[in-house]
Structures are given as C-alpha cells and as structure tokens.
Amino acid sequence: MSDESVNATDAHLRGIIDEYMGAFEPDPAESVGLRERILQIVREDAVLAPATKLTTERGNPFRMATAEVRGIIREAVDSVPGIRARSVNLTPAGEPEGSAVEVSLTVTMSAGTAFVSAAEDVRRSVAGALIAQVGIPAMRVDVTVEDVFVDEEAADD
C-alpha cells in the first residue's frame, strides 16, 4: 500500500470517525486514543493479506484470508492418496455472490494413480473441507495434473 493511498484512507477514516464521534458524543476521557487505535486496526488488517469475500447461508458477508482458505483446500487435496496440491485459485460464486466458491487447482500425481477416481476423491475432499471448515459449498472444483512423481514409499514395497 503506497503512502498516498494510506494517507487517503486515513483521511477518509478520520472523517467517518469524526462523524461518529460527533453523533455519539463520548466522554472525552474515554475517547483518548480511540481514533488512532481504530486507524491502527485498519492498517494492520490491510497489511495482513488479501481476503476472499464470502457470504453465510443467511446472507451475512464476511472476509477470510485467502491464504487460510487455500491452506484448507491444500490439506484436503493432500489427504487423497497419491495426490499433492500445487496451486490453488478460488473465485467467489453463488447467489448472493460469495455464498459458494469455485476452485481451480493444480496437483502432482504419483505414478500409477488412476486420475479419474483420484480427481473425484479430490473434489469430494475439497467440497467436504470447505463445508466443514468455512461453511461455504464448492460449486465447482477443477483439477489439473501438472506433474507426475514416483512415490518412494510405494516403490520400496
């Protein structure tokens, strides 16, 4: 985030806070540092990471760190025998937007793994993890194999 963008955001937020403070009329002793604390929270949130906008079943919007959602998906993919997650991309979908998600991912597959059945296992695993951990269904899970690897443990058997 550039300094100019931070300053514009700070100015906008200061205006909102001033408007709130004018309507609320808090005790001056209680409001010491409130404005700076709010700005600090907003700045920290903006620096954390990109977030994905989602919507609960009841239509309440929320944001979740995109890295966190990708981590949930990667764990679900890696739980499928012979498959390892590589890239994970997600797009909010559904009506209202964000009430579901479309997932596009690339994987590596161990030599000898049947792709069609493994891809179905990946789709089920990802869909189950998203419902269980995020509360959002997967409308689509696209799986692309990028590479094949030799599973050292299976080769030793």
Per-residue pLDDT tens, the chain, 157 aa: give them. Answer: 455 555 666 676 666 666 666 665 656 666 656 666 666 666 555 555 677 888 877 788 877 888 889 999 999 999 999 999 999 999 999 888 888 999 999 999 999 999 999 999 999 999 999 999 988 999 999 999 999 999 776 555 5
**C-alpha angle 63/36/40, rounded to 5°?**
35
Q: Is CATH 3.30.70.1350 the right assignment for the domain spanning 52-156?
A: yes
Tally of CB atoms within 10 A around 56: 13
- Give residue limits of the domains in the chain: 3-48, 52-156
* 83-93 vs 51-55, strand pairing mode: unpaired
Tell me the CA end-to-end span of the chain in Å, nearest whole number: 53
Beta-bridge mates of residue 90: 103
